[in-house]
Amino acid sequence: MKAATVITSILLVLTIHCYGQDQWETWDKRYREINYNELIDSEKQYADKTEKNKEIAQYYSRLDNYKITAKFIGKTRPIDNNVLMSMKRVFKLFIGKPIQLDDAVKNEFLFEIGDSEVWMPIQTQLEKPFIKEIKKGTETILYCLFLNEHLQEGKIYNTLFISEFRKE
């Protein structure tokens, strides 16, 4: 009986160690850390090249997963309708039914990243936990779905949709 209890205890400790070692490991593997300013500069350069060559399609979009560090400024607002519509178009092309976004995002939060202030949509289910855990002026790590869209008329959307967060 003692042996069974010891073995069970060892297995429990090993299980906790293996699975609880780093809860962020999977997120960190799926979301590549990037420099925000370099990302935006790269997207602007690509848009400029595309706009100069009218022989290629002027509309393009892409989707990626990024991890960034940003300081929460403490401001929120309802998501800009143009941003939401862009997200839906990109979502439809790469993921599926854009109607899923109707309940998944309602607001944007304002962050400071380097010298830039950036409004970022956040999943509705994350809003309350974020406000509770991340105070104004706090640096946080954000796991974001990046939705990029360049419209025919030259307008570009670079949207970082917050999928998860953690304290730095």
Question: pLDDT tens, 64-75?
Answer: 999 999 999 999
Is residue 16 domain-resident?
A: no
pLDDT at 16: 44
pLDDT digits (tens, 9 = 90+) for 131-147: 999 999 999 999 999 99
Is 47 inside a domain boundary?
Answer: yes
- CA dist., res. 46 & res. 58, Å (int): 11
21 pLDDT band, cuts 50/70/90, is: low
Q: Residue 1 domain-assigned?
A: no
CA-closest candidate to residue 66, choices 123, 28, 94: 28
- Give the mean pLDDT of the chain: 87
Report the CATH number that the domain containing residue 163 is assigned in CATH: 2.40.50
Domain membership of residue 59 as a residue range: 24-167
Confirm whether 95 is domain-assigned.
Answer: yes
Q: What's the number of domains the chain is made of?
A: 1
E-state strands within 34-104: 60-78
Whether 109 has a pLDDT exceeding 90, the answer reads yes
pLDDT at 117 over 60: yes
pLDDT at 18 over 50: no
Residue 6 confidence (pLDDT):
33
12 vs 168: CA distance, rounded Å? 29
Query: What's the whole-model pTM score?
Result: 0.83
Cβ contacts of residue 145 below 8 Å, gap of 6+?
63, 64, 65, 160, 161, 163
Please say whether the dihedral angle defined by the alpha carbons of residues 5, 10, 14 and 16, taken in this order, is positive or negative: positive
Residue 13 lies in a domain: no
Examine residue 45 and state whether it is found in any structural domain, yes or no.
yes
Of 11-15, 68-72, 78-82, the poorest mean pLDDT is in 11-15
- The answer as to whether 78 is a domain residue is yes
SS3 15: helix
